[in-house]
Amino acid sequence: MRVDVNRYLFVLGFFMGKYKNKAYSLRIDNELMEKVKIIAENEDRPISKQLERIIRQYVEQYEEKNGKIDTGGN
C-alpha cells in the first residue's frame, strides 16, 4: 500500500508557500505505515501529525545526545 503523505498534508493545509510547514513526499514500507496508522488511530491523531510527532521525538532525542542543531533560524 502506498500512502500519499502529500494528500494528508494538503488536507490539513500544510502545503508549501502558504504555511510554515513544508510538504515532503515520503515513501514508507507498507508494514511500517500500517503500524503508524494504527498508532495514529489509537491516539486519535491524523497520520500526518503522527509522523510529525515521531520525527519531532527523534530529533529531540538526537539533540539530547549530540547537542542542539543550529538550523540558522529556518
3-class secondary structure per residue, 43-73: CCCCHHHHHHHHHHHHHHHHHHHHCCCCCCC
> In the predicted model, is pLDDT for residue 9 greater than 60?
no
Residue span of the structural domain in which 37 resides: 5-66
Assigned domain for 37 exists: yes
Q: How confident is the model at residue 4 (pLDDT cuts 50, 70, 90)?
A: low
Assigned domain for 74 exists: no
Question: What is the predicted pLDDT for the residue at 65?
Answer: 97
Element (H, E) at 11: helix 5-11
Q: How many domains does the chain have?
A: 1
Contact 3, 28 (CB under 8 A): yes
CA dihedral 51, 54, 49, 47 (to 10 degrees): 40
Assigned domain for 52 exists: yes
Sign of CA dihedral 59, 60, 64, 69: positive
The model scores a pTM over 0.75: no
- pLDDT per position as a tens digit, 24-56: 888 999 999 999 999 999 999 999 999 999 999
Assigned domain for 35 exists: yes
